[in-house]
């Protein structure tokens, strides 16, 4: 097994804070390439999250790789086996196979999954990279499911005060659509659209001046357990 000595994306955001847009696009692009390979083989990862994006440090560069296909699911439209609600039984107890803070709503509901499921989770990770905010962090699955009906609003609140291009906000909102049929369906198309949405490319997200310095607070990066 390859030794990844650079920690995880969760470590990077926790230690260094929100990442520049250029670094976010670089890492998201690498994950998109990995998912493109997987989806092309008919495999849905189902567990895209910061803890599963690992880094190998080469000189001063961090090379990202997507890890942990432990709950990946084979796509087969002719059966009902590709359900995100699949469980394992351990000591008589059923275990849900997803990560609540990053999972798509269809996973929480135990409905069929597809490439748009991974796109949803990757969009949540991209937002976390740039803001330090896990917009769906919640211990209660039912509350998390309810929050996902307001993904666009929660995403825009996370970016409040940051000069993110409007086309990027629109694309991320589309990736967070509650219905998988309203999201991008191909990971390559999503990455290409994201690159265009950030043009001209910027190294940093500029924080806009607060309109009310008395009431404006600074949000610290949060890494969910």
User: Annotated active-site positions, please?
Assistant: 47
CA distance 33 to 195: 14
Q: Which residues pair with 41 in a beta bridge?
A: none
CA distance 9 to 70: 18
Which residues, other chains included, contact 131 with Cβ-Cβ below 8 Å and sequence gap of 6+?
Answer: 18, 158, 159, 162, 219
What's the start-to-end Cα distance of the chain, in Å?
25
Q: How many CB atoms lie within 10 A of CB 125?
A: 23
CA distance 112 to 66: 22
Task: Quote the DSSP letter at residue 218.
Answer: P
């Amino acid at each position: 097994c390859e030794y990844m000595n650079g920690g995880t994306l969760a470590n990077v955001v926790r230690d260094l804070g929100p990442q520049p847009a250029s670094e976010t696009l670089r890492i998201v692009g690498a994950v998109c390439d990995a998912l493109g390979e997987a989806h092309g083989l008919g495999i849905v990862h189902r567990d895209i999250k910061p803890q599963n994006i690992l880094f190998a440090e080469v000189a001063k560069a961090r090379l990202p790789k997507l890890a942990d296909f432990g709950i990946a699911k084979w796509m087969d439209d002719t059966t009902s086996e590709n359900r995100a609600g699949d469980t394992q039984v351990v000591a008589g107890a059923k275990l849900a196979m997803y990560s609540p803070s990053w999972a798509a709503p269809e996973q929480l509901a135990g409905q069929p999954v597809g490439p748009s499921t991974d796109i949803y989770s990757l969009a949540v990770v991209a937002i976390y990279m740039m803001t330090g905010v896990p917009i769906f962090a919640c211990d209660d699955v039912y509350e998390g499911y309810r929050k996902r009906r307001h993904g666009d609003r929660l995403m825009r609140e996370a970016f409040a005060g940051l000069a993110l291009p409007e086309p990027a906000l629109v694309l991320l909102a589309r990736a967070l659509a509650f219905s998988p049929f309203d999201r991008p369906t191909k990971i390559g198309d999503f990455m290409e659209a994201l690159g265009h949405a950030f043009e001209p490319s910027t190294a940093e997200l500029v924080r806009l001046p607060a309109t009310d310095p008395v009431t404006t607070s600074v949000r610290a990066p949060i890494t969910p357990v």
